[in-house]
Structure 1
Amino acid sequence: MRYEPAPLTRHLRVRQDRGHTVLEFRGEIDIAAEAEIVPHLDMATAAPDARIVIDLTRVEFFDLSGLRLLYRARHRVTDGPGRLSLVCAHPMTLRMLRITGLSRLLPPWPTLDAALDQPESTSGPV
């Protein structure tokens, strides 16, 4: 079954770019946003060879619910030969990723272009 990107929702935009499914989180990523995003995240990460980029560029607020989404995506994609990249440049969100250790598991790229232009063998900045 082929995953078809979802239309723009309040907290999520899904699109294809350079062979990757880009999940652009938007606005406040809290428990309400998590409930909206999970079904789309699960569909996007269902293929064993999924190539996913989660873009946090348009996020204004990010709490534990957002971290759960990132861990969920990482778990679903790394169980197979898939690839998951993260785009994040917001200082407070980067701090949260470092404090929780998620930045070691899912190193963030500063821009979407940087994440999409990387060779298949890399999963984050060196």
Structure 2
Amino acid sequence: MGLALQTTRQDGRATIAARGSIDLHSSDELRSRLTELVDAGERDVVVDLTAVDFCDSSGLNVLVRAYKHARAQNATLTVTGAYGRVENVLRTTGLDRFLIAEAGDGAAP
């Protein structure tokens, strides 16, 4: 299926809604978009994975690197909407502890 990305901005937050699979073939597109947003001055970036059905290690790598890049630029990057296999891989790897926004912390639901 590939990966489709849509970026919206509202109330000082940039949200990237991803749809499809984040894998070796599509992760570069996500990496580029996240890097561009942070480098352009966005300080609150949310990756909405509600419509993502698969994320492999290359996708996880992109999320971790983007998280670190955002922190280095005094920005935040969080993930929302992960469910099923995607949520499971985030929890199994422990990445949920710093990537997944908890309810009430100001991140998008």
Common topology (TM > 0.5)? yes
Give the SS at the match of 2:39.
coil
- Which residue matches 1:26? 19
Any stretches of 5+ residues in structure 1 without a counterpart?
1-9, 118-126
5 Å-filtered alignment, 1:9-88, equals: 10-47=3-40, 50-88=43-81
List 4+ stretches of structure 1 deviating above 4 A. Answer: none
Cα offsets for 1:26-53 (capped at 9, x unmatched): 1011111112222211101215662100
| Native 8 Å contact 1:29 1:61 kept in 2 | yes
Query: Percent of aligned pairs with the same residue?
Result: 30
Any stretches of 5+ residues in structure 2 without a counterpart?
none
Q: Which has the higher contact order (CA 8 A, sep 6+)?
A: 2
Q: TM-score, normalised by structure 2?
A: 0.81
Count, aligned residues = 106
Larger Rg: 1
Deviation of 1:21 after TM superposition, in Å, equals 0.8
The verdict on how the C-alpha distance between 1:47 and 1:74 changes in structure 2, with shifts beyond 3 A counting, is same
What is the alpha-carbon distance in structure 1 between the residues aligned to residue 11 and residue 108 of structure 2?
Answer: 7
Q: TM-score, normalised by structure 1?
A: 0.71
| Native 8 Å contact 1:11 1:37 kept in 2 | no
CA RMSD of aligned residues (A): 2.3
| Native 8 Å contact 2:22 2:54 kept in 1 | yes
